[in-house]
Amino acid sequence: MSGIKTRLVVNGEEIITARDPKQSLLQFLRTELSLMGAKNGCAKGHCGTCTVIVNGKAQRACLLQVGKLDNSSIETIEGLTKNGELHPLQIAFAKAGAVQCGFCTPGMIMAAKALLDQNPDPSEDEIKDALKYNLCRCTGYKKIIEAVQMAAAAMQGKIVLNETSEKGWVGEAVVRYDSLAKVKGVPLYTDDFRLGGALEGKLLLSSHPHARIMSIDTATAENAPGVVAVLTAKDIPGRKTFGLIVPHQPVLAEQIVRYTGDPIALVLAESEGQAEAARELIKVEYQPLEIVDNPLRALEEGAPIVHDEGNVLAHIKVRKGDIEAGFARADIILEDNFYVPSIEHAYMEPDACLAKQEEDGIITVWTASQSSFSFQEDISKSLGVPKEKIRVINRTTGGAFGGREEPTVQIHAALGVLKTGRPVRMVLSREELIKMSTKRHAEYLYYKLGATKEGVIISLEVKIVGDTGAYASAGEPVLFRSAVFSSGPYEVPNAKVDAFAVYTNNPPGGAMRGFGSTQPAVAAEIMMDRLASKLDICPFKIRELNGLEPGKQTLGGQVLDYSVGYKETLKLVKEALDKEALPTSKPGKRIGVGVASAMKNVGLGSAMVDGAWSTLKLLSDGRLELGIGSVDSGQGADTVMAQIAAQSVGVSFNTIKIVSSDTGLNMDGGVTTASRQTFVTGNAVRIAGIKFRNLLFKLASEASGIPQKYLEIKNNCIYDIRHQADYKISLPELARLAECRNFSLKAEHFYVAPGTKVLKDCSDNPEFDHEEFRLHFAYCYGTQAAIVEVDENTGEVCVLKVIAAHDVGKVINPSAVEGQIEGGIMMGLGYALTEEFKMKDGQVVTNTLKKLGIPDITQTPKIQSIIIEDHHPYGPYGAKGMGELPMNPTAPAILNAIYNAVGIRLNSLPVSPEKIKDQLFKIKEMK
């Protein structure tokens, strides 16, 4: 059938193809026509990143066979821009802030265009219905809805859209640095590019969750058609393992497999199909070992041992005051147990890597990560070559949320290059990524809380058992954060907390948005709500009574001295809620309101040196090249840095050109984690900008004879403030002047954040020492109220609205801050109601995006974001990070709202309709 011709009209151009008629439209567009706008997020029709318009209707291209589309008209994102002018939808998505990582954006825009072509003035519900097959993990959907509404208004002549930004300094909601490229669907992501003559790499993953490898026979696979090499652990010339903190996870397993995501062999072939076929020919003989898939079971005597040193990776202790004395004085004591599940990051872009060897012997690796520099180190150690021989370039990153802190295929791709001398391409399928990648830690939490009859907390005992999976990953620091944030944003004088990171035969528990602070927020806030209910105290009042403020101490004994906006978040959420006209409950459908708060560290803390480099230089065309080591994974870091650079130098945002996270061009900015980049890299950029500005003035002064004190920058020109008409020199003119005078117009700065200390064995700080107990240099705070409707017959929960107030220090970009709040809320909604990564007998059950329960646009509530600016004295212009925190209060606020609606407490997430129905039935039976 390969000779049968198919006629297509793609973006107005006739295409005749005789290719395999069973080839998917997505594959055809990307491989045959090099139209990379439609993305391959899952190949199952679950994500919508491949959406195009076929004969006037939005269709998922991965589900369509080319041979069944004869005489069809197809529109892709590339066809929207006409004569260099963007479509109103493209402009609206950029202006509304509806673009974050951007991987879902082309599909979203095409689905929206299909809607507007048929319905020029859709309602919000009609927009949601049209986009319900398109997932977004970043934005929370609110700004996507607003973008479609904005485009509809523009297309009807009600408003005028433009894509330009203003000066773009701190505090302005400028269009994101990279959003125009993303709305056009131009090649940006790793798998959008091809290397000539590249081999395709495929990994053979373990079929057993725990087994001893007795033998690996690759002979048949090596002789299969198209196969160039089959590599196993014996082919790794350097370190055979990797890991964030404990490097004991095998690059290719050699003796023991500990979960089904352990790779055993790498097949390198001329085509992807040949590599996949040969992979099935590898014969591995296993000796199955007993598995342990629950961390509580792993702690029991006689449990299967995952690692020789035992199943406990780490035991973190927090001790403060005397809990027994505290409980003895308490008028009320509450106890409860909680469970929060493992969660998949579910970023839309599957992991991919391109690698090749340059003429000078350097191996260049293109991939998405959260630190090119940490990947460079991992690759160099496994290949046994100096770091200078490895160059890692970060491609546009299609989401991360902590999931790209560790390599998946990057070491393997570079190893393939080293062994074959050929370029290598590796792309994980969604199923492979779900099987291999790290997850949010599932945790079991026990809480015992003692308080006075007035509601003042005086004693707290907590035990947390976290599932860190088969390898250490970030298990110890994640459980450390769970321990130190177990009290929430409240002062507790007496506390005993024990947190255990425990090995199992599940996928490794790694970094994920919130990094250990998310899990205890659920338990702590339900306990606060129970306390308020028991004492008949307003839930806002009881939080205000115990809340942190300057002069109070954290659980670790740190005295808070500045930028503590927690109580302001409480106040403003309550005020907004008081103004809210709540819907009335109807028969069978009950309305409930819940509140929850949270806090999160900014920066690494714990006595770790937290620093970053930044460079600025003037290009010949007058633009400023900003070099940073941070990664923009959709959170808007590049835009924030460009705004800080623009203000510190005094130029417009549009003059900044960013070069980031390239080990060959940049200096290290540290891992993009811990909400640290705005504070740490932001300060490096700010100070480098001041230095650069001074260099500009120095050059202009030397050339003109005008003292520097009389020079200023305005409209990207330097002028004499005394006689503006007499002297003015533009940035391109300064670049030429510098070249003539051999004057270096380049500035750099390495910024180190304020020092911190490790957690003390005892957190008692009676002297209120501000330095010795400083665990972190900054914290962010938030409060959210959720309004829900619970169907008593079906158990369905509809989140109607979330009011969210967050202390950000100083807003750099209001639209970006709102985007982080909205995206965090939607992720928190999924955590509360629908999401769970499930295993059974060591095998992955939830192996698709659909099974994982990722929220879609139809579940989007109304969101009211309230931004609080409690300036941090050491942050850039007073700013501090906040990208992770907004997820934390959402789930407990929803759970507290469910209780307020129907009177049931559910302490095990996710809260499915079945769980609610079951609890309501039990209550009914008791009556």
Adjacent-strand bridge partners of 867? 806
Check whether residue 10 and residue 145 sit in a common domain.
yes
Residue 162 has pLDDT above 90, yes or no: no
Q: Is residue 148 within 8 Å of 155, Cβ to Cβ?
A: no
- The first and second tokens of residue 375, run together, are 């990947």
Residue 191's alpha-carbon distances to 19, 31, 354, in angstroms, are 22, 11, 8
CATH of the domain at 392: 3.90.1170.50
In angstroms, the CA 512 to CA 497 distance is 22
- Going by their DSSP bridges, the two strands 778-791 and 797-807 should be labelled as antiparallel
Check whether residue 432 and residue 447 sit in a common domain.
no
Q: Is residue 102 within 8 Å of 37, Cβ to Cβ?
A: no
- Beta strands per DSSP E along 488-640: 495-503, 589-602, 611-618, 624-628
CATH of the domain at 660: 3.30.365.10
Side chain identity, residue 319: R
Classify residue 794: in a domain, yes or no: yes
583-594 confidence digits (pLDDT tens): 998 899 999 999
Check whether residue 457 and residue 357 sit in a common domain.
no
Q: Is residue 910 within 8 Å of 833, Cβ to Cβ?
A: yes
Check whether residue 523 and residue 563 sit in a common domain.
yes
DSSP, residue by residue, 700-769: HHHHH---GGGEEEETTEEEESS-TTT-EEEHHHHHHHHHHHT---EEEEEEEPPP--PPPSS---TT--
Check whether residue 53 and residue 160 sit in a common domain.
yes
Check whether residue 777 and residue 693 sit in a common domain.
no
In angstroms, the CA 551 to CA 567 distance is 13
CATH of the domain at 149: 1.10.150.120
Sheet holding 424-427, edge to edge: 227-231, 263-269, 199-205, 424-427, 352-357, 363-367, 390-394
821-835 confidence digits (pLDDT tens): 999 999 999 999 999
What pLDDT is attached to residue 509? 98
Lowest mean pLDDT among 206-215, 369-378, 578-587, 691-700: 578-587
- As a 3-state breakdown, the chain gives helix, strand, coil percent values, each rounded to 5, of 30, 25, 45
552-594 confidence digits (pLDDT tens): 999 999 999 999 999 999 999 999 999 999 999 889 999 999 9
The single residue listed with the structure tokens 């599909």 is 107
- What angle (nearest 5°) sits at the alpha carbon of residue 187, between those of residues 410 and 354? 20
In angstroms, the CA 19 to CA 345 distance is 36
In angstroms, the CA 233 to CA 263 distance is 10
Q: Say what the pTM is.
A: 0.97
End residue of a domain, out of 701, 735, 752: 752
The alpha carbon dihedral of 888, 891, 893, 899 has a sign of negative
Classify residue 180: in a domain, yes or no: no
- The first and second tokens of residue 533, run together, are 């209910």
Find the domain containing 843 and state its range: 443-605+760-926
Structural domain count, the chain:
4
pLDDT band at 926 (very low <50, low <70, confident <90, very high): confident
- Hey, what's the torsion of the CAs at 16, 19, 24, 27, to 10 degrees? -90
pLDDT band at 865 (very low <50, low <70, confident <90, very high): very high
Check whether residue 583 and residue 624 sit in a common domain.
no
pLDDT top residue among 333 and 21: 333
- How much is the average pLDDT of 181-207? 97
DSSP SS3 for 661: coil
CB atoms within 10 A of CB 358: 10
- The first and second tokens of residue 791, run together, are 């169907």
State the burial class of residue 287 (Cβ atoms within 10 Å of its Cβ: 0-12, 13-18, 19+): exposed
Residue 606 has pLDDT above 60, yes or no: yes
pLDDT band at 1 (very low <50, low <70, confident <90, very high): very low
Check whether residue 33 and residue 156 sit in a common domain.
yes
Residues 6+ apart with CB under 8 A from 809: 563, 778, 780, 869, 870, 871, 872, 875, 878, 879, 880, 882
What pLDDT is attached to residue 3? 64
In angstroms, the CA 252 to CA 259 distance is 13
Number of H helices, E strands in the chain: 24, 35
Nearest-CA neighbor of 229 among 255, 264, 265, 261? Answer: 265
In angstroms, the CA 268 to CA 248 distance is 25
End residue of a domain, out of 139, 165, 191: 165
95-123 confidence digits (pLDDT tens): 999 999 999 999 999 999 999 999 999 99
Residue 21 has pLDDT above 90, yes or no: no
CA 414 to chain centre: 25
DSSP SS3 for 557: coil
Nearest-CA neighbor of 353 among 476, 474, 268, 445? Answer: 268
Check whether residue 600 and residue 520 sit in a common domain.
yes
Check whether residue 153 and residue 78 sit in a common domain.
yes
What pLDDT is attached to residue 726? 80
DSSP SS3 for 59: strand
In angstroms, the CA 253 to CA 222 distance is 19
Check whether residue 285 and residue 155 sit in a common domain.
no
Cis omega (within 30 of 0) for bond into 910 = yes
In angstroms, the CA 170 to CA 869 distance is 13
Classify residue 491: in a domain, yes or no: yes
**Eight-class DSSP state of 828:** H
Q: What percent of the chain has pLDDT over 90?
A: 96
Classify residue 313: in a domain, yes or no: no
Residue 702 has pLDDT above 90, yes or no: yes
- The first and second tokens of residue 656, run together, are 């900044």
Check whether residue 510 and residue 643 sit in a common domain.
no
Residue 771 has pLDDT above 60, yes or no: yes
449-495 confidence digits (pLDDT tens): 999 999 999 999 999 999 999 999 999 999 999 999 999 999 999 99
Nearest-CA neighbor of 372 among 604, 615, 190? Answer: 190
- The first and second tokens of residue 835, run together, are 């999401």
Classify residue 185: in a domain, yes or no: no
Classify residue 37: in a domain, yes or no: yes
End residue of a domain, out of 732, 752, 772: 752
CB atoms within 10 A of CB 732: 15
Adjacent-strand bridge partners of 335? 448
Residues 6+ apart with CB under 8 A from 564: 548, 549, 550, 779, 781, 807, 870
DSSP SS3 for 76: coil
CA 917 to chain centre: 33
CA 685 to chain centre: 22
In angstroms, the CA 35 to CA 193 distance is 11
Phi, psi of 633 (to 5 degrees): -100, 20
Classify residue 325: in a domain, yes or no: no
Classify residue 546: in a domain, yes or no: yes
